[in-house]
Amino acid sequence: MSVSNGQTLSPLLNLPNTKLLFHAAEHQQTYKNESTLVSVLPFEKLPEDDRALYKGDAASLYALITTSTIFHPQGGGQPSDVGTVALASSPETAIFNVDSARTSASNPGLVLHFGTFQGGAESSIDPGAVLIQAVDENTRHLYSRLHTAGHVLGSATRTLLEDKIEGFDELKASHFPDSAGCEFKGVIEGKWKSDIQQSVDDLVDKDAEVRIEWWTKSDFRERKLERLLPSDEVWHAIGIYVDQDGQDVPSDDVIDDEKTRIRVVNIVGSEVYPCGGTHVPTTKDCGKVTVRKISRQKGISRVSYKVD
């Protein structure tokens, strides 16, 4: 479809937002779920910004968009889930391999499932088809362990060093298997490595519950955690109308900052993080978390880690 100035309308415009089932506490360990196909597009038909999201061989690549998804798209320091899609009428026969899930750059309300069809199945699938999404369980479990472990490391390091390192603050983190690490403002010397490891071990052994919760701005303020509040711009982008359990509630046309909520991960008794990732039920489910090394550059310290 074209518009009068000759520009081509994006095929992703006006599609309904993808419901992110992996955000719900009850779906943290859900590896198979039913959804409905909204659209299937050859890779070359996607807007340029969305094509840029995929870094592999795009030959024979398609993007599936569904009404809901249990596939966590790459983001927030966590890698994309991988897995398969099958028709609900034949759930044991995969017709599509999901290599990567990404949030659309041209329409951030959508999740794009990049992958390839098996045996020419693309000719037999149409919008409205009921599908079975299956996330690779071992890969998801590893990513969830790594993500929770990253928050354990962040919490342990803050508790240990917040009043000992000038200008200390938590910055960003990567939870990828080969490059897992947390960055902190301030110079953390190598002498702290064994103490950080002990603090991490203590929190893992504590077997603290890892809760998925939904907070308003007032929830942060009442707990004196204003430092965790995103900027108004970010809040407007990610805040949604849900109750404290993440269930949809009626919304107004105008966003009300005191009625919208964002998702947080609460390591009970330790620390809270605004977070959209997947997690294990308790800190002990991380397994062995090993502090690998501490590196420093221009006043920023990076503590890398792994899970076994």
**Residue scoring higher pLDDT (120 or 298):** 298
Backbone angles phi, psi at 73, to 5 degrees: -75, 155
For residues 15 and 38, is the Cβ–Cβ distance under 8 A?
yes
Report the C-alpha gap between 154 and 170 in whole angstroms. Answer: 7
pLDDT bin (cut points 50, 70, 90) of residue 5 is: very low
Give the pLDDT of residue 2.
32
Q: What percent of the chain has pLDDT over 70?
A: 94
pLDDT tens for 7-32 read 456 889 889 999 999 999 889 999 99
- Average pLDDT score over the chain: 92
Q: How many CB atoms lie within 10 A of CB 230?
A: 15
**In angstroms, how far is CA 131 from the centroid of its own chain?**
22
pLDDT tens for 177-221 read 999 999 999 999 999 999 999 999 999 999 999 999 999 999 999
Report the C-alpha gap between 113 and 37 in whole angstroms. Answer: 11
Is the model's pLDDT at 232 over the cut of 90? no
Is the model's pLDDT at 277 over the cut of 90? yes
What domains, with CATH codes, occur in the chain?
Answer: 19-135 (2.40.30.130), 141-307 (3.30.980.10)
Which DSSP symbol is given to 12? T
Give the pLDDT of residue 156.
98
pLDDT tens for 148-182 read 999 999 999 999 999 999 999 999 999 999 999 99
pLDDT tens for 48-82 read 999 999 998 898 999 999 999 999 999 999 999 99
Q: Three-state SS string across 270-298, please?
A: CEEEECCCCCCCEHHHHCCEEEEEEEEEC
Least confident of 124-138, 223-237, 238-252, 293-307: 238-252
Give the pLDDT of residue 8.
58
Q: Left (φ > 0), alpha (ψ -120 to 50) or beta: where does 76 sit?
A: left
Paired strand residues for 32? 134
The burial of 178, by beta-carbon neighbours within 10 Å (0-12 exposed, 13-18 middle, 19 or more buried), is given as: exposed
Q: Which amino acid is at 188?
A: I
**In angstroms, how far is CA 6 from the centroid of its own chain?**
37
Report the C-alpha gap between 257 and 255 in whole angstroms. Answer: 6
For residues 299 and 166, is the Cβ–Cβ distance under 8 A?
no
Write the CB contacts of 233 (distance below 8 Å, at least 6 apart in sequence): none
Query: Sheet holding 169-174: strands in order across?
Result: 169-174, 181-185, 300-307, 289-297
Read off the pLDDT of each residue in 255-269 and give the average, rounded to a whole number. 86
Read off the pLDDT of each residue in 41-45 and give the average, rounded to a whole number. 95
